[in-house]
C-alpha cells in the first residue's frame, strides 16, 4: 500500500498510534436486569476527550436485550410485571 498511495506511506511513516482501552461493563436496566456489554474507550490524541463504545456480542443475551429495548423505547411497565 505504501507504494500505491503516497498519502498512506506518509501516514505509515508517522506511526501515530491511538490509545485504546478495552473493558466490560454491566448496565442494569430496571425491567430487563443486567446487560453485559463490551466497552471500548477511544481517546483523542491529547487524551482530553474519550468516546465510549458499548457493544453486545452477536446473538448473545445482551444483544437480545438491546434489540428488545430498541423496540420498546422509553415505554414504562407497571411494577410487579412478571
Tally the C-alpha atoms within 13 A of residue 4's C-alpha that lie toward its C-beta. Answer: 1
Query: Domains (ranges, CATH) in the chain?
Result: 18-72 (3.30.1300)
Distance CA 79, CA 61 (A): 23
Q: Is the pLDDT of residue 82 over 70?
A: no
34 in Cβ contact with 26 (< 8 Å):
yes
Higher per-residue confidence, 71 vs 11: 71
Q: What is the pLDDT of residue 18?
A: 60
The pTM is what?
A: 0.62
Q: Tens of pLDDT along 17-66?
A: 566 678 999 999 988 999 999 999 988 878 889 899 999 999 999 999 99
> C-alpha cell of 59?
446473538
Distance CA 22, CA 37 (A): 11
Amino acid at each position: 500500500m505504501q507504494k500505491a498511495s503516497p498519502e498512506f506511506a506518509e501516514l505509515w511513516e508517522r506511526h501515530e498510534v491511538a490509545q485504546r482501552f478495552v473493558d466490560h461493563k454491566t448496565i442494569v436496566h430496571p425491567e430487563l436486569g443486567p446487560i453485559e456489554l463490551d466497552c471500548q474507550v477511544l481517546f483523542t490524541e491529547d487524551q482530553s476527550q474519550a468516546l465510549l463504545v458499548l457493544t453486545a456480542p452477536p446473538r448473545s443475551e445482551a444483544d437480545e436485550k438491546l434489540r428488545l429495548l430498541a423496540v420498546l423505547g422509553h415505554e414504562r411497565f407497571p411494577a410487579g410485571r412478571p
